[in-house]
Amino acid sequence: MAGIDEKRPFIPVGIAILTVSDTRTLADDKSGDTLEARVRDAGHRLEARAIVQDDRTKIFDQVKAWTLEPTIDVVITAGGTGFTGRDVTPEALEPLFEKRMDGFSEIFHRISYEKIGTSTIQSRATGGVANATFIFVLPGSPGACRDAWDGILKQQLDYRHLPCNFVEIMPRLDEHLKRG
């Protein structure tokens, strides 16, 4: 049965938040603010937060750099998942993925469908793993960020969540790499 095992300790993880937008600044980044508040309220560490333009290279470079930081376990992006010409976040990050997380997109769309109906198909939310770091690519609306955090990430980033969670497998994400 799914739920929180209060006998297990809470283990905070390091999270970076990237807003992808040509128009937002930190002063008016409601999606970034939404995610930051939830990360902090859950007891995790906000290790970094930034905004980059809808540009494949800038998105890729920022997320890749964060995946190489030892204090960052999770990167969450907000924005650039639609179908317009400037929406390139999935294209920028999927080449970085060593493993895709198809279930993240499926669950996100199920949750989103309950709130916005068929409009959920206008999002290309995705997730994956790169450099032993979880990466979640969310739409840029505060509502979508709330849905993803409240409905998926809050539980999966809590070591106490059973029957399983992302935190308990973090030490094994890079076991495929050869070590000296």
* pTM (whole model) above 0.75: yes
Which structure tokens are listed for 86?
């400037």
Q: What are phi and psi of 5, to 5 degrees?
A: -95, 105
For residues 136 and 125, what is the distance between their CA atoms, to the nearest angstrom? 8
Rg (CA), the chain: 16
What is the model's pLDDT at position 35?
Answer: 98
pLDDT at residue 178, as a whole number? 55
CA gap 126, 103 in Å, rounded: 9
Mean pLDDT in runs of 10 for the chain (180 residues)? 92 98 94 98 98 97 98 98 96 97 97 96 97 97 97 98 96 71
Tell me how crowded residue 101 is: count the other CB atoms within 10 A of its CB. Answer: 18
pLDDT of residue 177: 64
* Record: fold of 15-167: Molybdenum Cofactor Biosythetic Enzyme; Chain A (3.40.980)
